[in-house]
Structure 1
Amino acid sequence: MAALPDRYFTPQDVAALLGVPVETVYRWRRKRTGPPGFRVGKHLRYDPDALHRWITSLTESERS
């Protein structure tokens, strides 16, 4: 079983990391085009590994 990350990212963390507005992160979620997120109660969180895979998939598709 894989170890859990030290912490999961918030939408604000994702926005800061990618240099986009927080509203863009929420728009991606509504359109189902962004990184996979999950809810913990009312709070939205992102797994750092899943975010990294999503970013990698974008960079790989740019090369094709």
Structure 2
Amino acid sequence: MTDRLLTAAQVAERLGTWETSGERFPRRLIAERRIAFVKVGHHVRIPASAVDAFIAERTVQPVTTRRRPLRKVA
């Protein structure tokens, strides 16, 4: 099965940047070669797996630390 190719607008919606910058952010990612893309004639398409990988690489996991009990003050 082939990977679904998305337009810059679809990628912006998927990343949640459509409301603020429209297609600008995905197009900047393409121009800076920070995300994989496919050229189909004059059109630029981004594989859905590349978007998923982009999100996964930049996902920050929460830090889980045990809190030490507070010391009593004299």
Gaps of 5+ in 2: 62-74
Matches within 5 A, 1:1-64: 3-5=1-3, 7-20=4-17, 21-33=22-34, 35-59=35-59, 62-63=60-61
Normalising by structure 2, we get a TM-score of: 0.65
Normalising by structure 1, we get a TM-score of: 0.74
Structure-2 separation of matches of 1:30 and 1:47: 16
Gaps of 5+ in 1: none
Larger Cα Rg: Structure 1 or Structure 2? Answer: 2
Larger fraction in helix: 1
Where do 4+ consecutive residues of structure 1 move more than 3 Å?
A: none
Count of equivalent residues: 57
